[in-house]
A = this chain, B = another copy of it.
Amino acid sequence: MIEDKNQQRTPLSEYGEFGLIDHLTKNLKLNQQTTVKGIGDDAAVLDFKNKQVVVTTDMMVEGVHFDLSYVPLKHLGYKAVVVNISDVCAMNAKATQITVSIAVSNRFPVEALEELYAGIETAAKAYNVDVVGGDTTSSTKGLLISITAIGEVDAEKVVYRNQAKPKDLLVVSGDLGGAYMGLQVLEREKEVFKVNPQNQPDLSPYTYLIERQLKPEARKDIVELLEKLEVKPTSMIDISDGLSSEIIHLSSQSKVGCVLYENKIPIDPALISTCEEFDVDSTTVALNGGEDYELLFTISQDDFPKIKGNPNLTVIGYMEEEKEGLHLITRAETKIPIKAQGWKNFNG
């Protein structure tokens, strides 16, 4: 689908391991004050002074988390960075460094890794993080990316998952379900392409959804906005596995219940029309789709005036006593239990 048969193909074996890492990382610049030493020694050296440090790691595997028949390598590199930075944002912290490890089979030419690294570099610039380390090695099959992100935060500003209180408001950034429907569109086009490779599909109605899937963004801007508004969430998580699943995490770790209003869940018009076309329920998609990388958080009711009317934030419910359980109030005003149906990569 995206393969260019005339592209240059330099075999990985032209570089040794060190040569390849040098080649791929030679353009990377260090911008973070906290980076004392980046790539080139046994370890990177960082200095956070009196700040606390957050660390998170995520792995993406070809054939499990992405399909290179429709995911451009540059986008993949970008997304692999973003999903980690999103976790840093969910701690109310500022991402500062990443390390990047890649395992890759000989079927990939050096040019493919250059594309991947171009995406990593673009994300690193966009989010102002330094690439301070990593490992590039061969694999027997496919491509795998493991990224560790590091961030800094004042001790008193860290937001955990377990401090939501009954009566706190449940708030989400952006809109939900788009990344999942973008994936459905891409999967459908892949099937069409298999049958008729000459077909040039018009994907313009799905631009927003496809972008949500291929080039998600971490909501660093929301962390900055909350700081400006002087709102410290009582709990926070990023939405990687779907709204239901993340609500369950926040609630169970905080030992609270929750009421979620279906008619408050923010959904883009493009999602509604595409869901109609695919004959799926947009609420189900928003609840279970995942990969939106929006932030889900709770705030004290006292803070509501500070966020009221902000177009980036939507109050979608409130927390309750634990014994009340977790419920969705549908548009028809029925009350149904919230269950997780997030992605289960080990199932099947």
Residue in B closest to A15 when the chains form the complex, CB atoms: B346
Known: A133-B56, A142-B140. A43 touches B103 (CB 8 A): no
Task: Please report the total number of A residues contacting B with Cβ < 8 Å.
Answer: 74
Q: Is the CB of B57 within 8 A of A99?
A: yes
Decide yes or no: A43 and B93 within 8 Å by CB, A53-B53, A57-B135, A146-B59 being known contacts: yes
Q: Mark A125-149, 1 if CB is under 8 A from B, else 0.
A: 0000000111101111110101011
- Considering the chains assembled together, what is the distance between the CA atoms of A103 and B144 in angstroms? 9
Binary interface encoding of chain A residues 144-163 relative to chain B, with 1 for a CB under 8 A from any of its CBs, else 0: 10101111010100101110
Chain B residues, CB < 8 A from A348: 13
Report how far A40 CA is from B235 CA in the complex, Å.
Answer: 13
Q: Which of A9-44 contact B (CB under 8 A)?
A: 12-13, 15-17, 20, 36-37, 40-44
How many identical chains are in the complex? 2
Please measure, in the bound complex, the distance between the C-alpha atom of A122 and the C-alpha atom of B240, giving whole angstroms.
Answer: 32
Q: Does A91 contact B (CB under 8 A)?
A: yes
Cβ of A36 and Cβ of B52 under 8 Å apart?
A: yes
**A56 and B40 form a contact (CB under 8 A):** no
In the bound complex, do residue B345 and residue A238 qualify as a contact, i.e. CB atoms below 8 Å apart? no
In angstroms, how far is the closest chain B Cβ from the Cβ of A113?
11
Kindly supply a per-residue 1/0 record for chain A positions 89-119, scoring 1 wherever the CB is within 8 Å of any chain B CB and 0 otherwise. Answer: 0110100010101010010000000000000
Instruction: Among A155, A345, A347, find the residue whose CB has the most chain B CB atoms closer than 10 A.
Output: A345
Q: Does A187 contact B (CB under 8 A)?
A: no
Q: Which residues on the B side are within 8 Å of A120 (C-beta)?
A: none
Tell whether, in the assembled complex, residue A50 and residue B50 are in contact, meaning their CB atoms are under 8 Å apart.
yes
In the bound complex, CA of A62 to CA of B41 (Å): 26
A54 within 8 A of B: yes
Given contacts A144-B139, A344-B16, A347-B13, contact A52 B45 (CB under 8 A): yes
Q: Write out the residue numbers on chain B whose beta carbons fall within 8 Å of the beta carbon of A343.
A: 17
**With A and B bound together, what is the CA distance between A323 and B44 in angstroms?**
29
**B132, B151, B346: the one within 8 Å of A138 (CB):** B346
Closest residue of B by beta carbon distance from A11: B346
- Closest partner residue, chain B, to A146 (CB atom): B146
CB of A324 within 8 Å of the partner chain: no
What are 19 A-B contacts with C-beta separation under 8 Å? A16-B347, A36-B155, A37-B160, A42-B161, A42-B237, A43-B87, A44-B56, A45-B53, A45-B54, A45-B91, A46-B52, A53-B53, A57-B133, A57-B134, A57-B148, A61-B140, A62-B140, A64-B137, A141-B142
What 5 A-B pairs come out closest when comparing CB atoms? A43-B56, A42-B90, A146-B146, A43-B54, A63-B140
